[in-house]
Amino acid sequence: MKKTSRPSASLAFRLALSLAAVVGACLAVTFVAVYALMVSNAHRRVDEQLRHEVSEVASLLSPQGVEALEGPLARLAQAEGTDLVCYRVMDRVGAVLAKTDTASWQWLTINRQALAAATREQPYYESVLRNTKEGEARVIYAVLSDDRILQVAIRTFHELEPLRDLRHRFLVIGAFGVCLAIGVGWIVAKRALVPLEAVTDTALTIAEGHFEARMKPESRDIELERLAGAFNAMLDRIQSFVRELRDLNDSLAHDLRTVLARIHLAAERLLSSRPIAEEQESLAVSIVEESADLLGTLNTIMDLSEINTGVAQTQFSSVDVTALMVELCEFFEVTATEKGIALEFDSTDHAVISGDPNRLRRALANIVDNAVKYTSRSGKILVKVRSENEVVAVSVEDSGVGIPEEALPYIFERFYRADKSRSREGHGLGLSLAAAIVNLHGGNIQVQSEEGKGSAFTISFPRPPSTLG
């Protein structure tokens, strides 16, 4: 039997993706938290350095006032590098009283709000971003004596650059973690879904007619063992129901057939007895006909239910479909000619399939019979057999009454008859039996029809691999 190779691929994939999403989210939260902590630590270290700078400048204050600070400040800045640090002393309105070389600090503005907010106890801190490439500066506004404000700015490049590097590493680790989670999630989900595959495979095996198929009950997991047990118990119950029903059907059909056969025989005996009254003769004839018809219908119903329930006994052999259709055309030609219908046959080769010859004959005969039955005088029927690629196609086209569009979806159902007037013989079982037999052979049956113009039935059977060129 054909095993399902990817029965729950999408479910497994969705589970793997969900796991990856959870792992991704956890990693993102962790990385963001760690990164924020490290940035805040780095700022704390820079702020400590800024406070140290402020106390150093405060210790340089002399009685000559802040204006005398310019020289010592310049030395301080030069010692650390004027592009890395900058000092400015100003009053509360931002007028600069002393400053170091600010050539590389033109971009750093004076924050009026900071000037107003800074107090002797609580200096004001801010981070100012120059640009993404050159990074930011950390700035302190601290109150010196006599209400002068000292602004010290330090480039945080050295402190924050390693963190930026860390950000890239986090991204790479995160991407790797997500891929790993997808892989692991996929494997875990596939393993977890193995029991589902077993259920599906068992169900498919049963659908193919192997009613004895069961799931293996032994499993390492107690839940799966219970699932297998429950599934098997359900199948046992259904199978015993089906068996009971089949036995009942069989005995009922057998009894009915026996009674009908007896009635048939009795009516035939009555017919052959002489002398026989005219009225009795016509009654006997109709009993013979009706019982034969009923017997035929009963056989068809039995055959149909055996095929549909998958219990039909089949004996497949090599069947020459072309020869079979020639034989059927010859058989129906008599009736067709009587009705003035031209029955043509067309085939270029001998198409061979593997099948049950008797059932195939019944199925195809029903189609040709219908074509003759539903085609009026001077009509035409064309029967074709073709071997095309991997299929053998039999088509039966007629120029008959056609099938109304609204009836087309139902014509393969049991007891359905599109011809509501019931002017022609039939019980509406021919096409359902034909379709069941075609299905049994792995083929399919299609119909195209236009009311008043005719119908075309196409039956395709798979060609056995040995006949493929």
Q: Indicate the residue among 215 and 341 with the shorter CB distance to ligand ADP.
A: 341
Residue 456: its H or E element:
strand 454-462
How many H-runs (helices) and E-runs (strands) does the chain carry? Answer: 10, 12
Q: Indicate the residue among 8 and 432 with the shorter CB distance to ligand ADP.
A: 432
Residue at shortest CB range from ligand ADP: 426
Instruction: Give the list of residues 6+ apart from residue 261 with CB closer than 8 angstroms, or none.
Output: 291, 295
CA triplet 13, 175, 163: central angle to 5 degrees?
Answer: 160
Considering only residues 426, 439, 448, 462, which one is a binding residue for ligand ADP as defined by CB under 6 A? Answer: 426
Residue 385 as a binder of ligand ADP (CB under 6 A): the answer is: no
Q: Indicate the residue among 247 and 450 with the shorter CB distance to ligand ADP.
A: 450
Residue 418 as a binder of ligand ADP (CB under 6 A): the answer is: yes
Minimum gap (Å) between residue 408 Cβ and ligand ADP: 9
Sign of CA dihedral 71, 77, 83, 85: negative
Q: Contact at 8 Å (CB) between 319 and 360?
A: yes
What the block records as the tokens of 83 is: 């592009």
Minimum gap (Å) between residue 397 Cβ and ligand ADP: 9
Minimum gap (Å) between residue 421 Cβ and ligand ADP: 10
Q: Contact at 8 Å (CB) between 354 and 464?
A: yes
Distance CA 460, CA 441 (A): 10
| Residue given tokens 């032994």 in the structure block | 218
Binding mask 430-459 for ligand ADP (x = CB under 6 A): xxx----------------------x----
Distance CA 433, CA 50 (A): 96
User: Which of the ranges 17-25, 269-277, 357-365, 369-377 carries the binding residues for ligand ADP, by CB under 6 A?
Assistant: 369-377
Q: Indicate the residue among 123 and 400 with the shorter CB distance to ligand ADP.
A: 400
Q: Indicate the residue among 100 and 366 with the shorter CB distance to ligand ADP.
A: 366
Residue 462 as a binder of ligand ADP (CB under 6 A): the answer is: no
What the block records as the tokens of 282 is: 């016509």
Residue 397 as a binder of ligand ADP (CB under 6 A): the answer is: no
Q: What are phi and psi of 426, to 5 degrees?
A: 140, 160
User: Which of the ranges 100-108, 133-141, 205-213, 413-421 carries the binding residues for ligand ADP, by CB under 6 A?
Assistant: 413-421
Residue 371 as a binder of ligand ADP (CB under 6 A): the answer is: yes
Residue 195 as a binder of ligand ADP (CB under 6 A): the answer is: no
| Residue given tokens 């009908």 in the structure block | 260
Q: Indicate the residue among 136 and 397 with the shorter CB distance to ligand ADP.
A: 397
**Which long-range contacts (C-beta less than 8 Å, at least 24 apart) are formed by 259-265?**
260/291, 260/294, 260/295, 260/298, 261/291, 261/295, 263/287, 263/291, 264/288, 264/291, 264/292, 264/295
Q: Indicate the residue among 75 and 453 with the shorter CB distance to ligand ADP.
A: 453
Residue 303 as a binder of ligand ADP (CB under 6 A): the answer is: no
Considering only residues 115, 189, 398, 441, which one is a binding residue for ligand ADP as defined by CB under 6 A? Answer: 398
Q: Which amino acid would we find at residue 454?
A: G
Q: How many residues bind ligand ADP (CB under 6 A)?
A: 22
Distance CA 168, CA 175 (A): 11
Q: Indicate the residue among 297 and 309 with the shorter CB distance to ligand ADP.
A: 297
Q: Indicate the residue among 343 and 429 with the shorter CB distance to ligand ADP.
A: 429
User: Which of the ranges 33-41, 124-132, 186-194, 418-426 carries the binding residues for ligand ADP, by CB under 6 A?
Assistant: 418-426
Residue 374 as a binder of ligand ADP (CB under 6 A): the answer is: yes
User: Which of the ranges 126-134, 172-180, 216-224, 422-430 carries the binding residues for ligand ADP, by CB under 6 A?
Assistant: 422-430
Residue 366 as a binder of ligand ADP (CB under 6 A): the answer is: yes
Distance CA 270, CA 151 (A): 131
Q: Which amino acid would we find at residue 177?
A: G
Residue 428 as a binder of ligand ADP (CB under 6 A): the answer is: yes
Distance CA 322, CA 328 (A): 10
Using DSSP, state whether 345 is helix, strand or coil.
strand
Distance CA 62, CA 45 (A): 29
Distance CA 265, CA 273 (A): 12
Residue 403 as a binder of ligand ADP (CB under 6 A): the answer is: yes
Minimum gap (Å) between residue 459 Cβ and ligand ADP: 13
Distance CA 463, CA 208 (A): 20
Q: Indicate the residue among 48 and 293 with the shorter CB distance to ligand ADP.
A: 293
Residue 324 as a binder of ligand ADP (CB under 6 A): the answer is: no
Residue 214 as a binder of ligand ADP (CB under 6 A): the answer is: no
Q: Indicate the residue among 176 and 410 with the shorter CB distance to ligand ADP.
A: 410
Residue 411 as a binder of ligand ADP (CB under 6 A): the answer is: yes
| Residue given tokens 């057998």 in the structure block | 254
Residue 394 as a binder of ligand ADP (CB under 6 A): the answer is: no
Distance CA 174, CA 164 (A): 15
Residues in touch with ligand ADP (CB under 6 A):
366, 370-371, 374, 398, 400-403, 411, 416-419, 426-432, 455
